Structure 1
Amino acid sequence: MDNNRTSTVPIVPQRYRLPFFMLVSCFALWGLLNNMTDNLVPAFSKIFMINASESAGVQISFYGAYAVLAIFASILLEEFSYKAGVLIGLGLYMIGALCYIPAAIGQSFDIYLAAIFVLAGGLSILETTCNPFVLSMGAQETSVRRLNFAQAFNPIGSLTGIFLAKYFILAHLNDADMDTRKAMDPEQLNAIVSDELFWVCVPYVGLVAIAAVIWFFFCRYQSDDKNVPTRENTQPLSSKLGRLGLCIALILIPFLFQYYSSFEFSMVQQILIMMIGPIAFLLIMPDYRCQLMKLVKLPRYFCGVAAQFFYVGVQIAVWTWTIKYIMSVFPGMQEAAASNYYIFSIILFIVCRAITTAL
């Protein structure tokens, strides 16, 4: 690579700067929502008076959506375009966030889990889309620097999400513990829970306004970039819709099987069953099967996926239980105060990420 040429090529060309800014906002948005959702585990444990394993359903729903829909997102990009991925991803996020309202009115943990799944499904499509979209916005020589710059806003969003959770959700949790709540008069408890769930809704529903602005921008955005998924210009619309419809059907069939089945499935089992659909689509379609086999045969790719799996697993496990762990170490500490330790860990994460990005 010519270093002199690389130094003179702009990281983000002038014509892409506004859409690039909008995509950077998406990086911050899903970072914000990822870490804000971590705080729902201790919050829901208290609000719905459930144990730790039940409240962990929040994270199973959230990251289960990634497991089920990330492959679907890549197929969506291959068949259509980056723009379609952004619009559908943001659209699902807004639908999921707005579903927090009926969940709060009905005080239903199950509706919250369904809403979280839809919301996270939108984020999985958005995240799968934005990374290659950013890479395409300029010269190939600067693509990695462009992506590193965009991803640097992800932990900033994460820190913002923790502050939103701290001051909107955790700070409005009633101090009454589970035993005290069980002894309360039903009307008194209902009033407390209604207030707590209202504040759970506030940041999620409020962020819909920002997502809507980004959605309308990309709805009107016309790209002149040629570096888009190749199938977009080579396959008829009917063929693309048919293939995408088949993929959606293969996702829905395992879901309907579970819904109408007499068998009882755990949440993890439900996610694993629903993952069968997208994987089956990859194996059924010869071109996708060929791409998959090529990737699996690359040791660096295979090892990278394994490393990412364990890294994300550890990261989410640690951050999910940080607040509960701090509360167990310091008895009597409330969730809002314990979240300060979570904030310190994110700040340290941002500092270390900035150092490694620079390196």
Structure 2
Amino acid sequence: MKTKERVIPTEYLIPFILITSCFALWGFANDITNPMVEAFSRIFNMGVGGGTWVQVVFYGGYGAMAFPAAFFIRRYSYKSGILMGLGLYATGALMFIPASFIGLYYPFLIAYFVMTCGLSFLETSANPYILFMGPDSTATRRLNFAQAFNPMGSITGMFVAKTFIQARLDPRGAEERALLSPDQFEAIKANDLHILSSPYIAIGGVIIVMFFIILFAKMPRHEHSDHRLNFFGAVKNLLKVKRYWEGVVAQLFYVGAQIMCWTFIVQYGQRIFMEQYGMTAGAGAQEAQMYNIVAMAIFLVSRFICTFLLKYISPGRLLLALSLGGIALSFGTIFFQDIHGLYCLVGISACMSLMFPTIYGIALRGMGEDAKFGAAGLIMSIVGGTFLPKLQAFIIDMETVFSMPAVNVSFVMPLVCFVIIGIYGYRTYTVHFRYE
């Protein structure tokens, strides 16, 4: 559907730029953290399942804080929600300083949880704020455009993870570290934790600067004059809208698919590079992370292409088409056991590029004031990034399933997610917006 209305009205341009920059900042946090599953597993000599506690607390913070964030935004403003998010983000990042000195796993998990409570505030505030910065008819395109800058932060996070963390960690794998004396193991662990913590501490400083820029910037207000928190009334209204609660379900599985594909690409590629190219665990992880960066670059380019296509193709139809692409490439990822499987896994990112903001825009379209609580439900669905990767890690730790590498078989999990997303895309243009 083509429209002549401006996607970003002139009066909202500066606020739009400032809020869009926050999309890149939480993209950085998400994608510097995904490779840390492998890093923590190696540093503390744990299995993949142990390392995925990073994902559990990281995405658990989103679920825990989404509705409190919605109450806060309803009581105050979107700007206040953004500032609270940036404050918690910076606090969690700076908590890596004491965590690295303590040298235990759990202080890092606490730091991640605090940081992602901040990210929950940011996403609960920024996404609906962008939707309201212009005509309702261009809201989905506007959010897709803003979300297109999220992968820029993600690519930066992946690059930092590869260059400043993975490349500098001790390259020894679990078996080699098990042979070290306790003193040697502790010395290597302490050095690795210091290396891992440094980029988080640096981004904490960047977030503080961003906090003060937005604090003193003039931002538009989209607040209702009545600040009474009619939570149950809002939830009742939302549950009457099938496209909303179906969108929450679709978003939960999308986030799970995204996290699984971008986290376990390291283990997937690491197996190939170790078994077929004779690399060490550390070198294999670095090489796999390079493919992850390529996947994110493809994701970024595809996001801009799909945003353009939304001028001519309905969101539901495009969502279904990309879901079918994700399903086909997931089959390739599962059944190819060489580099071609890795190529398929990289290609999945092109199919995922449109999904999050499009599901978000479809679910919240025309919600008005209920969008504040509706946004919270959609952000809370990010908890899909907690239990779904945990299930995939359980499969990976089996090592072999049906005479196939378990890491290959584990990608049946994202495949199921894309089926569910495809169903939502189909229902969007056949049921929810049938005549558009």
1:342 aligns with 2:292: yes
Partner of 2:337: none
Partner of 2:37: 41
Q: Which of 81, 97, 100 is the aligned partner of 2:96?
A: 100
Partner of 2:248: 305
Partner of 2:127: 131
Distance in 2, matches of 1:349 and 1:10, equals 22
Aligned-residue offset at 1:357: 0.9
Partner of 2:238: 295
Q: Which of 120, 125, 132 is the aligned partner of 2:116?
A: 120
1:86 aligns with 2:29: no
The one-letter code sitting in structure 1 at the alignment partner of 2:289 is S
How many residues get paired? Answer: 302
Partner of 2:261: 318
Asked if the contact 2:152/2:300 (under 8 Å) is kept, the reply is yes
1:155-174 maps to which residues of 2 (within 5 A)?
155-174=151-170
- What RMSD in Å do the two structures reach over aligned CA positions? 2.1
Asked if the contact 1:11/1:143 (under 8 Å) is kept, the reply is no
1:11 aligns with 2:3: no
1:234 aligns with 2:226: yes
Aligned-residue offset at 1:67: 1.1
Partner of 2:182: 186
**Structure 1 residue matching 2:264: 3-state secondary structure:** helix
- The runs of 5 or more residues in structure 2 that have no matched partner are 310-436
Aligned-residue offset at 1:140: 4.6
The one-letter code sitting in structure 2 at the alignment partner of 1:338 is A
Aligned-residue offset at 1:234: 3.4
1:260-271 maps to which residues of 2 (within 5 A)?
none
**Structure 2 residue matching 1:207: 3-state secondary structure:** helix
**Structure 1 segments of 4+ aligned residues over 6 angstroms from their partners:** none
Asked if the contact 2:269/2:287 (under 8 Å) is kept, the reply is no
Distance in 2, matches of 1:304 and 1:144, equals 14
Aligned-residue offset at 1:188: 2.7
1:220-231 maps to which residues of 2 (within 5 A)?
220-223=216-219, 225-226=220-221, 228-230=222-224
Greater Cα shift, 153-162 or 38-47: 153-162
Q: TM-score, normalised by structure 1?
A: 0.79
Distance in 1, matches of 2:213 and 2:288, equals 39
Distance in 1, matches of 2:147 and 2:39, equals 28
- The runs of 5 or more residues in structure 1 that have no matched partner are 241-284
Distance in 2, matches of 1:142 and 1:296, equals 24
**Structure 2 residue matching 1:214: 3-state secondary structure:** helix
Distance in 2, matches of 1:187 and 1:168, equals 25
The one-letter code sitting in structure 2 at the alignment partner of 1:130 is A
Partner of 1:50: 46
**Structure 2 residue matching 1:172: 3-state secondary structure:** coil
The one-letter code sitting in structure 2 at the alignment partner of 1:75 is F
Instruction: Indicate how the Cα distance of structure 1 residues 301 and 316 shifts in structure 2: closer, same or farther if over 3 A, else same.
Output: same
The one-letter code sitting in structure 1 at the alignment partner of 2:51 is S
Q: TM-score, normalised by structure 2?
A: 0.65
Aligned-residue offset at 1:46: 0.4
